[in-house]
Amino acid sequence: MTDLSTRYVVVTPVRDEQQYLPLTIESMVKQTIRPQQWVIVNDGSKDRTGQIIEEAARQHSWIRAVHRGDRGFRKWGGGIIEAFYDGFHALDCTDWEFMSKLDGDLSFGANYFESTFVKFRENPKLGIGGGVLYHDENGQRVLENHPKFHVRGGVKIYRRGCWEAIGGLWVGPGSDTIDEVKANMLGWTTSSFFDIHMTHHRFTGASWGKWGGLVKDGKIDYVAGYHPLFLAAKSIVRLARRPYFLGSFALVYGYITAYLNRVPQVDDPSVIRYLRQQQLARLFGGETIWK
């Protein structure tokens, strides 16, 4: 059973999302458990995104609009987290139990949040969770696959105790990996709920293009502190997926470029040590967060 009085808040940073944001708003309005507050941050959009947010805020008292100026470009890594924090600090509700960082290009069922809170109630050590994303490809629903412990950055729900333990989000590339690694290091568990589905109307990383997205992933792996051996193994496994050789080359290129350019890594050496220990254990058959 779910407590229908569960107190949660949602923060949604968006940029140029006029096409899909109305679908996310429609999904939120239909929720069987509505949030205490939903802050939607317009991150310098040039389209009608800001107007769509204002219209929703006028119609629903629990929706609040926050507008940021246009920085003139899509900022790699930290931009979305900076926008998120503008929304987070604008929250009036301070006694929330759960907080969701939600993308504005999703649609989901009316019982989405109610279903996720059942999972959290069943496992008091579950610190971060969220549904899984499907996208439409040539008329087929395709799962955006990933390890169970990983929750996509745009669907994360944080239990308050976990959020406070990890100290919030790293403002930089790889934040949606670093938070999970730190949570597991501190004794929490993290999990995607593969029986709770959402529709992602824009494939993850689409705004960067195929090559740019893979290079970005390689850079993020460096920033998060991936062990070079694990990165090498990841690029070898990547050879079996399209674009075959090019995809693996892009990952390695991004990783090495970030290293040569001295891109700052996550500012917590203990998190990097823990992640590398987990990666080496996975390579050599040990027990890990991948399970």
Average pLDDT over residues 122-148: 94
What pLDDT sits at residue 207?
55
Lookup: tokens for 107: 């649609």
Q: Which residue has the higher pLDDT, 191 or 211?
A: 191
Task: Give the Cα separation of 42 and 51 in Å (integer).
Answer: 9
CA dist 47 and 278 (Å) reads 43
pLDDT top residue among 198 and 78: 198
Per CATH, the number for 8-200 is 3.90.550.10
Confidence of residue 142 (pLDDT cuts 50, 70, 90): very high
- 97, pLDDT greater than 90: yes
Partners of 142 in beta bridges? 135
Q: Are 248 and 254 in contact (CB under 8 A)?
A: no
Q: Where are the domains of the chain?
A: 8-200, 208-283
Specify the pTM. Answer: 0.94
Model confidence at 63: pLDDT above 90 = yes
Report the amino acid identity of residue 186. Answer: L
CA–CA gap between residue 39 and residue 281 (Å, rounded): 40
Q: What is the pLDDT of residue 137?
A: 85
Q: Residue 242: its pLDDT value, please?
A: 86
The pLDDT of 118-142, averaged and rounded, is 94
On the question of pLDDT at 206 being above 60, the answer is no
Residue 66 and residue 39 in contact, taking contact as beta carbons nearer than 8 Å = yes
* Residue 210 in this model has a pLDDT that exceeds 90: no
pLDDT at position 21 over 60: yes
CA nearest 157: which of 12, 20, 283? 12
The CA distance from 286 to 291, in Å, is 9
Summarize pLDDT for 230-246 with one digit per residue, the tens: 999 999 999 998 888 99
